[in-house]
Chains A and B, each alone.
Chain A
Amino acid sequence: MNEAQLVGILASIMAQSAPLILAVIGETITERAGVINLSLDGTMLIGAMAGFVVAYKVSGSLEAVGIAGDTIPVLVGFAVAALIGALAALLIAWGSIRLKQDQVAIGFVLTLLLADLANFLGQNYTRIPGPRVTHLPIPYLSDIPFIGPLLFRHDLFIYLTIITVGIVWWWLFQTQPGLQMRGVGERPEAAFVRGVKVNRTRYLYAALGGALVGIAGAGYSLDIKLGWSDNHILGIGWIALAIVIFGGWRPVRGALGAILYGITKAVAQILQSTFPEVPVVLFNSLQWLLMLGVLLLVGSEGIKRLIDISPRWLQGPLAHALRVAPPKSLGRAFIEE
């Protein structure tokens, strides 16, 4: 395999991982604000279905009036998916904040319900071709050796995903509103005392995170795994949830985790084609074994022991860089006076 092929594979991994990266970022935001959105899998499914179906229909109507092209339908599709994602997350947040119910329970029921809704409503639109995100290589930049094809020969969705990672990182750690949001997730009483509107913040970021998740779902049906079919991307939401934990609730680490996952899948595919006699079982199970492995690494004493054996002066910063503790108020409602 020569260099061009390697770069090509890496670029394709980047592209394929983009929706997952977006979903991980979205859920990271939601959980940082203190809300667990367990409906991730269902939301992504219905986001994928709705994004595709809406784009398909809009494309049909526009063609009827003589406007061709995929851009507008795709945009509308993404917008609708974002809306649905936001609503799902808001429902969980509302159920928790206003009705004091268990976020995990609501999220779980919602994930099943949304999956069923997606299959039900999408059944007439399975396996048909539809609009897709247009390929958009950036002139000049895409000709730079190595980095060019890797980063600049994709489409708008992927560019925006990369930009989103950067924006979210900046927002979270370099701005006042992001700082306040983190405070809400860590210790809502202290944030409240400083005048931060705790519940409003939770609603806002839950909705934002949910919107990103919805867009991520649509990113599959409109870009990576085109079209719709029954249970199209089932299971990817759970992987996203695990990666959020693996990423320590940080956007950049989470994005890296998603890419790592993409690399694993690609490696599995390569191995599968190189050794066709080995039963498919092995490669399919790889992603789930990886999920367990990653969570074991994070959950067990491994990281703590690593910190314990490091020199004293390093322990503090190391603990915070490798931080694996969730935001302290995750999952709990806050009673405002």
Chain B
Amino acid sequence: MRVELRDIRKYFGDVRANDGISLTFEPGRIYGLLGENGAGKSTLMKILSGYQAPTSGTILLDGQPVVFSSPSDALHCGIGMLYQDPLDFPPMQVIENHLLAHDDRLVLDRGGGSRELEQYASGFGFELDPRVYVDTMTLGERQQMELLRLLALGANVLILDEPTTGISAEQKEMLFNTIRRLAHEEQKTIIFVSHKLEEVQELCDEVAVLRHGKLVGTQSIPCPTSTLVRMMFGEELPRSTHKLHAAAPTVLTVENVTIRTYRLTVEGINLELHEGEALGLAGLEGSGQRLLLQACAGLQPIHSGRILLCGEPLIGKRSPLFWTPWLAWAFLAIRTIWLIVRLLNGQIGGLQMAGGMAWALLIAGAIWLVSTVLIAWTSQSAYHVFRQRGGAYVPAGRLEEGLIADLSLTEHMALVSPESSFVINWQRARDEISRRIQRYNVVGRAETKAAELSGGNQQRAMLALLPPSLRLLLLEHPTRGLDVTSTNHIWELFEERLQQGTAIMFISADLDELLERSDRIAVFSGGRLLRILNAAETSVEELGHLIGGQQL
């Protein structure tokens, strides 16, 4: 089936996500869709797969114009899309995911569905157990499951949206082999959306490059990298130099730490981080690096081992009043004994005893309540201690976890200022945030609400709100979804802090970023810290294989 996109435009208000794109896809070939983040690749594919309607333009299948009302509509015509985060149902089993909206039959045929699934899976060399719950599977496995589902429902055109982020090298090999087979043997059309040049060159027959919503051009592979780079960016990508930092005092020590959660056990982690050092955490999603990062911030309790921040263990401060609930139990015990004694002596009857017990319970309860409230008041969580000692944690979800959507930047400033007294000095907060907005190049004003900022500016705002000097900065995917300029600028800010002596530990799924920006890289796989490498002495291939659990 021949797929043609004719003059596709998609406007979101003033933003032109797709600005007149025309492309043709023939069966039996693998197409790459290249472009930087924000170029318009995902939007275009969402239109092709029926998830969105274009503002204008047509889609033609074998010369016939079609309009998709929904993604399942598109799938009926044979076009299926595999999302970067597969749209599956984590709390349900693989077989249930497979069967949902599979056909029109009333009663579910779990047996038949499982057989179909296992047949397909073995045909491609995948190992999928229908009874497993999806939320315990790795990203690569979830991709495989979704791929099988699309194929079973008759997809002839498969769109893969950034499928290699977060899967192991082994799974990537399997995926690429599958793609080649689907295209060359089964004459399906594959569209491989990515921003990674090497992979596109390795896999694809042809590539189309998008920039700022427009089609720059198409090329046949093989083709020199510099051509593609020029098409994607317009100029050569400046490779930033990374300065290595001399040995310095230790800021963070992780001693034999084990973390236990329902999904994953992380065992035997040992590492050290020094002042002015950047340590990158590499690994597939769910390999334990996020748990470790959160543990170092005091957000994730550890099962055994120690974490030392500036030499002191990172644990919550127990309230000095922790013993007070025992007063309640003591009172209850004493009173009960006294009542029993009086009962046995015949001084009071059974009913009076009950009444006395009831009162004793009430008073004990009141004591317990007061002491619990006081304890809640005077204890400090580990995260609190972490912040007090000069640590900061910047989460990945900017509006979900990092900023408060409806509050203005001034309010954020007032919220995080440590010296703010009981009464807020709004003028001072406004002045301070205005200063920081300037310094961190945030496009926005003091009164702007966090939700009104763009992604890159939200990231900058989060950084602007950090205290000026920090001992330890923990970052979760600091440049995810940002374009090159924003990324470079943010790393400049991080470099400044490194120069000041701050230690940085960060998680990234981008192996290039890890290689360029870290001094050392800690590789995680399956809940274990495999190795800590010097960034200068390793390569993307080695990292990719280590992440998948393979030792070279």
Contact = CB atoms under 8 A, between A and B. Distances in A.
Are A and B physically bound partners?
yes
Interface of A: 174-177, 179-180, 182-183, 186-187, 189-196, 277-278, 304, 307-308, 315-316, 319-320, 323, 325, 328, 337
B89 A183 contact: yes
B76 to A, nearest CB: 8
Identify the interface centre among B87, B133, B260: most chain A CB within 10 Å of its CB: B87
A175 B106 contact: yes
Interface string B72-84: 1101000000000
Given A194-B100, A308-B262, A174 B107 contact: yes
A33 B552 CA distance: 49
B101 A180 contact: yes
A320 B133 contact: yes
Most buried by A among B88, B91, B107: B91
11 contacts: A176-B105, A179-B100, A182-B92, A186-B92, A187-B89, A190-B87, A193-B70, A278-B354, A304-B262, A307-B262, A337-B52
Nearest to A304: B262
Contacts of B260: 308
B91 A328 contact: yes
Given A179-B96, A183-B92, A337-B52, A174 B108 contact: yes
Residue with the greatest number of chain B CB neighbours at <10 A, chosen from A190, A277, A304, A308: A190
A194 B72 contact: yes
Interface in B96-153: 96, 99-108, 132-133, 136
Contact of A187 (B51, B90, B96): B90
B51 A337 contact: yes
Max chain A Cβ within 10 angstroms of own Cβ: one of B100, B102, B132:
B100
Contacts of A190: 87-89
Interface of B: 51-53, 70-73, 75, 87-92, 96, 99-108, 132-133, 136, 260, 262, 351, 354
A316 B88 contact: no
Contacts of A304: 262
Given A176-B102, A194-B71, A278-B354, 16 more contacts: A176-B99, A177-B106, A179-B96, A179-B108, A183-B101, A186-B90, A187-B90, A191-B100, A192-B71, A193-B51, A193-B70, A194-B101, A307-B262, A316-B132, A316-B133, A337-B51
A328 to B, nearest CB: 7
A272 B106 CA distance: 50
Interface of A is mostly: helix
Nearest to B76: A195
A180 B106 contact: no
A310 to B, nearest CB: 10
Contacts of B91: 186, 320, 323, 325, 328
Nearest to A277: B351
B72 A193 contact: yes
A252 to B, nearest CB: 18
B107 A192 contact: no
Given A183-B92, A316-B133, A193 B87 contact: yes
Going nearest first, the 7 A-B pairs with the smallest beta carbon separation are A195-B72, A194-B101, A190-B87, A193-B71, A193-B87, A186-B89, A183-B100
A167 to B, nearest CB: 13
A337 B73 CA distance: 14
A330 to B, nearest CB: 12
Contact of B136 (A174, A196, A307, A316): A316
B87 A187 contact: yes
B233 to A, nearest CB: 31
B100 A180 contact: yes
B104 A176 contact: yes
A328 B354 CA distance: 46
A307 B261 CA distance: 10
Nearest to B53: A337
Nearest to A278: B354
B416 to A, nearest CB: 28
Contact of B103 (A174, A176, A191, A196): A176
Contacts of A323: 91
Nearest to A325: B91
B40 to A, nearest CB: 17
Contacts of A187: 87-90
Contacts of A186: 89-92
Given A175-B108, A176-B108, A187-B87, A319 B262 contact: yes
A196 B133 contact: no
Nearest to A327: B91
Nearest to A318: B262
A315 B260 CA distance: 12
A179 B99 contact: yes
A107 B132 CA distance: 37
A255 B72 CA distance: 36
A176 B96 contact: no
Contacts of A196: 100-101
A195 B262 contact: no
Contacts of A193: 51, 70-72, 87
Contacts of A192: 70-71
A307 B70 CA distance: 40
Most A CB contacts (10 A, CB to CB) among B70, B73, B104, B133 go to B70
Nearest to A174: B108
Contacts of A194: 71-72, 100-101
A320 B104 CA distance: 27
A187 B104 CA distance: 20
A307 B88 CA distance: 25
- A182, A191, A194 — which one has the most chain B CB atoms within 10 A of its CB? A194
A186 B351 CA distance: 53
